Amino acid sequence: MKFSNLMTTTTLALTGALMVAAPGFATTPAEMAASDAALAKRVRHEVVMLPFITAFDNFSLYVENGKVTLLGHTIRPTLRSSAENVVKRLEGVTSVDNRIEVLPLSRFDDDVRLRVARAIFGSNMLFRNGLGANPSIRIIVKNGDVTLEGVVLNEGERNFANLVANGVFGVFSVKNNLRVDRS
């Protein structure tokens, strides 16, 4: 075998090996979307597994071509940085845009959070939404304004949570972003 043929064969073999070994390497838009979806699932799992996440923290994310954008609200600055750090270490992540907002320290907002949580999770209709390590209803309070995030079983639960939160002393407004689980 000539030297030039040997080099061409070796180069092709190495290129093929790199293409197979490169995680998240996608050539078509459909493959890239599938790769991003798989990465989003891994990122979501890692973020949910962070310690000290409560019903007063809400995170969402999206992934595009390996770039992860973190969104949401937290009451702890350490959770914001922890989420970014755990995502950066994941294989396939090219960059992280951390847009998680740390809610301002406020004794008034802390009191409103607790009163809304007691009202929602203390009701017979919604108590199970607060059970476990990952509550399905998230209560975000900023300057007395409440935003409800998460998933409930039906429209009745969604409306009841809104009604209960609106009735809590100290709540200025309620934005109901609860989604009904259709599965």
Distances in whole angstroms, Cα of residue 59 to Cα of each of 33, 45, 102, 149: 21, 11, 11, 10
Split at pLDDT 50, 70, 90, the class of 133 is confident
Question: Mean pLDDT across the stretch 7-12?
Answer: 36
Question: Which percentage of the chain shows pLDDT scores above 90?
Answer: 75
Task: Please name the helix (run of DSSP H) or strand (run of DSSP E) that holds residue 54, with its range, or none.
Answer: none
Half-sphere CA count of 15, side-chain side, radius 13 A: 6
**Mean pLDDT, the chain, whole residue set:** 86
Q: 13 pLDDT exceeds 90?
A: no
pLDDT for 59: 95
Intra-chain end-to-end CA distance of the chain, in Å: 61
pLDDT for 29: 67
Taken in order of first residue, the domains within the chain and their CATH numbers are: 24-102 (3.30.1340), 107-180 (3.30.1340.30)
For 10, residues 6+ apart whose C-beta sits below 8 A from its C-beta are none
Name which residue leads in pLDDT, 119 or 8.
Answer: 119
User: How many of the other CB atoms lie within 10 Å of CB of 179?
Assistant: 12
Question: Mean pLDDT across the stretch 77-104?
Answer: 96
Q: 5 pLDDT exceeds 90?
A: no
